[in-house]
Structures are given as structure tokens and as C-alpha cells.
Structure 1
Amino acid sequence: MRTFRTARTARPARLLAATGVALAALALTACANGTGTRDEGAAAGSSTTTGTTTTTGGGGTSGSTGGGSTTDQSSSKTSGGGTGGGTGTGTGTGTGGDANKTSPNGGTKDTSDPWDPANRVTCKGSNTTVTTQSVSRPINHLLITVKNTGSKYCDLYYNPTVRFGEAQSAPRVIEESQPQAVVTLAPGESGYAGVLLSAADGSGGKGTTEQKVVVHFQNRQGDDTGSPASPALPAKGVYVDNSVAVTYWQSTAADALQY
């Protein structure tokens, strides 16, 4: 009788042990397939959203635990020892500005490079045409126009050296008329200088009427250079007194006549 009771008591224990082993196996299976435990008590129609994690590198696959870098797509951040690379190509085209620049005085465009010293010369009587013109405003003023008739760009340095009649000295220069840069003329373009002939209030003393003028050009050093020009004056001549003065070369007639 004692032996019989012992056998009946041990049988339920073995069943409980087997049940525990089965439950443990189910738990391990749930963890191994990546789903984890599930809350069966959640209300119908509700859902929970979590970020997606993808593991790459080390031979691992999505959801694996192999070594490599981990990218959290919900936050776009990368951690671990993974590497990545990218390549891109692009093409572009552009056109440079025209190297053949001219000043805005209506000349014929030259095909040579104006900034090459070989294509630039000093303006002088042999490569220009010089004319004079009396103007009504401002009064007692003469406009000198020089046109580049050569095949290269020419530079008008400083101011014209002007001598009326038999004068041995040149008029004073109006210093405030000095431009910011040397006036450069492309072939066919013109530059200008203004001459104050006499004082409107008579303060220039006794003057004379002149029928002749000679215009000299200057080089970079400020010395008279090349052949001078002898433009014709108005038929009645011009009245010149001691207040006579000349401007620097200008790129427009308006600039030349404002002094």
C-alpha cells in the first residue's frame, strides 16, 4: 500500500515538470523569432508604432544580431563601425566675358586684347585726329576732341599741353579735373579736354585774340611725346587772357566742359 501511494504522488510531479519545460520552450521560441511577448489585453482598434531598426554588416541580415552598424530609420542616425560611401557626377559649362573690351565712346571694336601691352600705344599726333570747337555753355570755353585713327588702343595721359599763338608756356592745369583712371581709346573712339579761355568777369587782365593752337600729348612719365597736332581754331579766332587753363583728358565732352 505504501508503494502504491508513492507512485501516484510522483506522477503529477513529472507532469508539472514537463509542462514547465514546454512553457520555457515556448518563451524561448517567442524571443528567438524577434516578436517578444504580446499583450493580449489591448483594446480592439488601438495600435502602437515604434521605430524600425535595420542592422547591416558583419554578414548579418535585417533583424539579426550580427556585428556591424545599426541605422535607426526613425531618427536617421547611424552608430557602430559600419562604413558607407556615395558617388556623384556633375557637369557644367560656362562662357567667359569678352576679353576685347572697349571704352564707351562709340569706336570700332578691335579684335586684339586691349590689356596686352603689345596692343596699346600712347596717343599722339600721328595716330589721332584733333579738332577744336567753341561752345556756348559754359561761356569762354573751347572743347578739344581727339579721335583715335590708329589700329591699336591708345592712352591719353594727363592733359594736353596747349600753346596758343606764340606763347612759350602752357596754360595751367585744372587739377580738380583729374579722372580716376587714364582715358583709353579704342580705334575710332574719342577723348576730350576743355579749355577755359578767359575770365568772364575780366579778372584775367588784358588778353589777345589767337588764330593758332598747338596740342602736345604726354607719355606715362608726363613728358611731351610724339608729333603734336595743330587743329584749326574757329574762323574768328579765340580770345585768351591770363586766366587760361586746361583740363585733364576726359572720356566725355560733358566732363571736359564742367570746369
Structure 2
Amino acid sequence: MSNLRTSRIRLAGAAATAVLATLSLGACSDGAGVKDEGASTTVQPSKNTNPDSGTDASNADSDSGSSSNSSNSAGSSGAKTSTNGSGTTAHTPTSTTPAASSAKPVTCEGSNTKTVAAPLNRPLNHMLLTVTNTGSKSCYLYGYPAVRFGEAQSVPPVIEDSQPQAVVTLQPGESGYASVNLSAADGSGTNGHTVKSLSVYFQGRSGSGSVGTGAHPSLPAKGVYVDDSLKVTYWQQDMDDAINW
């Protein structure tokens, strides 16, 4: 009996040990253990092998690039604005005044004018001289034309009453006028003769002598008839004022 009781006690102790072992194994495989392993698994892949981590890194690079591009765009915009501002300043046209308007007027003479001589039917025995400014500056037609027909040694007198109130001023392209009384309409003139050449000289501001070069307008092939009654008018701004004398 004693031996049997001992065997039962030993068997019960073994069973208890087995139960304790089972409980220990259960404790090792409970939720806490799984969570610990899961935490370890979650932490390690996020640093090394998790594909989501790679995606995030790519997005981070993309964001960084966008930020860089935005910065570059801002820089480019600033440079462009600066360039445009510089270009605008560099290409801003400066106002200029035409030389013809700003330059001081000069004296009209042969080198900056063109002179045309045209005989007139009315008034009878008259010739009209037309002087056109061909230069780039305004010019003054002072006094009256000093004309020489043919081989004449002197110039004819001027009709004093024809003097205008102001000096004739010609802008580039404008014309001034004077008329020449070639001979007496009633035939009372003396020393009449035909001439085929004409020279016209221009006076300066002082009115004494000629200045610059003369003009040599052509005459009709048959020439013109002149006598001692030959005289000229002052230069006129208007053609009608010239031929009225």
C-alpha cells in the first residue's frame, strides 16, 4: 500500500509538471509575444527593405525637385524681369530733333540752291527767277539777285519799292522768287541786244558784294533781249509779289 501511494504521488507531480510546462508554452505564444515580434519586424523593414519606404523616398525626392524647380523658376523669373528691365532701358528710343529744324539757318547761295530762269509772256519782257533750297538747312535769301547777262561788266539796279518787310527764309524744298525787267515795254530802251547766258550771284547779310558760289541757269536757245532799262526786284517769298513789278 505504501508503494502504491508513493507511485500515485509521483504520477500526480509529473502531471502537475506537465501542466505547468503547457502553461509556460502558452504564455510564450500569447499576443504579447506576437506583438513584440511584429514590432521588431515593422521597425527593421521600414529602414531597409519595405517597398513603401522606397516609395516615400521617391516622393520625397520628387517634392525636393519640385521645391528646387520652384526656386529655379523664381530665380529665372527674377533674372527675366531684370533682363527685361535692362533691355527696356537699353532700347528705349531717345528723342532726336531733325537737323533741318535744330540747325542754324545759313545763307542761300549756289551750292545749296537750284536756280531756274523762265521768260514770261505777262508782264511783257519779264523773266522770273526761282530759287529752291536744295540743302538740309533753312537758308536766307538776302537782298536781291546780282545778275549778269552775257559779257556784262556790271549788274542791273534793283527796284527799291519792291523790298519786302522781312528777309525771305527758305525751308528745305521751299522756293523764293525775283523778277527781271529785261527791256522797256515801249521800246524806249537803249543798247538793246540779245544774250544767251546768265549768272546769278547771292548777297550776304551785309548786302555788300556776293557770297558763296553763283548759279548759272540756262536761257532759251534763241537767247533773251535786254537793253539799258534792265532791272531786278528784291527776293520775294511769294511769286505773285515778284511778278507785280
Q: In which range does the TM-score fall when normalised by the shorter chain?
A: 0.5 to 0.7
Matched, 1:242 2:228: yes
Tell me what 1:187 maps to.
Answer: 172
Partner of 2:243: 257
Q: Cα offset for 1:236?
A: 1.6
Distance in 1 between residues matched to 2:215 and 2:153, nearest whole Å: 16
Distance 1:177 1:112 in 2: 33
Note the C-alpha offset of 1:111: 3.5
Whole-angstrom distance in 2 between the partners of 1:181 and 1:111: 25
Pairing 1:151-230 to 2, within 5 Å after superposition: 151-222=136-207, 223-230=209-216
Alignment coverage as a number of residue pairs: 148
Larger Cα-atom Rg: 2
Amino acid across the alignment from 1:246 = V
Distance 2:238 2:232 in 1: 15
The 2-side partners of 1:124 and 1:202 are apart by 34
Check conservation: 2:233, 2:242, Cα contact below 8 A: yes
Tell me, which stretches of 5 or more residues in structure 2 are unaligned?
Answer: 1-96
Q: Which has the higher contact order (CA 8 A, sep 6+)?
A: 2
Q: Which amino acid aligns with 2:139?
A: C
Identity over aligned pairs, percent: 59
**CA displacement at 1:112 relative to structure 2:** 4.6
1:113 Cα offset (Å): 7.0
Q: Which has the higher helix share?
A: 2
Task: Identify the residue that residue 15 of structure 2 maps to in structure 1.
Answer: none
Q: Distance in 1 between matches of 2:211 and 2:100?
A: 24
Residue 206 of structure 1 and its aligned partner are, at CA, apart by: 3.0
Contact 1:120–1:152 (CA<8 Å) still a contact in 2? yes
Q: 2 CA distance for matches of 1:140 and 1:195?
A: 9
The aligned amino acid for 1:192 is Y
Give the alignment's TM-score, normalised by structure 2.
0.58
RMSD, aligned CA:
1.4
Q: CA deviation at 1:252?
A: 1.5
Counterpart of 1:135? 120
Q: TM-score, normalised by structure 1?
A: 0.55
Query: Structure 1 stretches (4+) deviating beyond 4 angstroms?
Result: none
